[in-house]
């Protein structure tokens, strides 16, 4: 197993939040076979799977268990207008690769810091496009059935969610059917998407984890948070971004406890004003810090998976 993994792995620099302690053991499969081999040789219940760690807060006190990072699973295959991408392929890379051969449908991914596995898992969307628009099927891992291929319909996509979350499915590969289009039009759309993202979301030069809370049905988490003065909130080394109230930026060496404490302030303020309990969009990995565990019980209604 040593060829696939590192023990006591310092994860901080690998997260977009630039927060996190040491992980007990991290596995780095490069393809489906290696991924499956790791699961075969390791107790599955002890493993958690992550992609580019762009929507994940990892405890500054670390995590004693084992995780898989799919960042080295980054193969892309193109056959006419069909594109197959491994889970670790970053969104911008897939978007650019499709654009270079004149294929449209993934322009929205150009500004996403995440990877394909996570984006299918949560049905990522932006600029009136979503993963589910062009996806045909995905190869997933299920602890009872092993590797299974599920169609778009079987994946039961909805806003920022899919069957993967409900059934604990791990996305390993995705196939898309794209539309031929002039490269100039595709790149024009990509540039517009980048400009929109730049004006509405912080760049990773300000370490962040993307949107903190999901939009409640029929409303906007950003609007609700803005209305209760969240843009003035801060905690330790982190603060709410001044340009959008649903983002937290790590501006001064913040800790995971800082982030969770600030999330709690934001959550409780909206609950008091509107009787709406915002649901976190970011994942949390920890468990060693009792104060963090208490905050997670409230924010996630349980310790998050």
Residues taking part in catalysis = 160, 211, 281
Which of 39, 25, 101 is CA-nearest to residue 67?
25
Roughly how many angstroms between the first and final C-alpha of the chain, as a whole number?
24
Contact 262, 239 (CB under 8 A): yes
CA angle 165, 54, 36 (to 5 degrees): 55
Which of 2, 6, 13 is CA-nearest to residue 204?
13
């Amino acid at each position: 197993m040593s060829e696939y993994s590192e023990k006591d792995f310092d994860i901080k620099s690998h997260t977009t939040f630039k927060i996190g302690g040491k992980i007990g053991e991290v596995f780095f499969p490069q393809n489906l076979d290696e991924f499956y081999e790791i699961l075969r040789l390791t107790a599955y219940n002890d493993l958690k799977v992550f992609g580019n760690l762009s929507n994940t807060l990892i405890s500054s006190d670390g995590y004693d268990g084992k995780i898989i990072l799919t960042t080295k699973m980054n193969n892309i295959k193109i056959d006419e207008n069909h594109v197959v991408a491994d889970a670790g392929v970053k969104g911008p890379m897939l978007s650019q690769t499709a654009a270079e051969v004149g294929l449209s449908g993934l322009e929205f991914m150009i500004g996403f810091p995440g990877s394909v596995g996570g984006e299918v898992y949560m049905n990522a969307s932006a600029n009136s496009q979503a993963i589910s628009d062009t996806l045909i099927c995905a190869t997933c891992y299920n602890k009872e059935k092993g590797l299974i291929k599920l169609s778009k319909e079987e994946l039961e996509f909805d806003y920022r969610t899919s069957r993967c979350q409900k059934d604990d499915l791990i996305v390993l590969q995705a196939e898309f059917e794209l539309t031929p289009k002039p490269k100039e039009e595709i790149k024009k759309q990509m540039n517009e998407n980048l400009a929109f993202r730049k004006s509405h979301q912080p760049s990773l030069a300000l370490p962040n984890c993307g949107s903190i809370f999901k939009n409640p049905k029929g409303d906007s988490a950003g609007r609700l948070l803005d209305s209760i003065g969240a843009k003035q909130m801060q905690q330790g080394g982190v603060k709410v971004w001044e340009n959008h109230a649903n983002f937290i930026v790590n501006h001064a060496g913040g800790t995971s406890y800082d982030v969770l404490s600030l999330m709690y302030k934001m959550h409780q303020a909206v609950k008091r004003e509107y009787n709406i309990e915002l649901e976190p969009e970011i994942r949390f990995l920890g468990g060693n810090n009792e104060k963090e565990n208490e905050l997670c019980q409230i924010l996630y209604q349980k310790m998050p998976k």
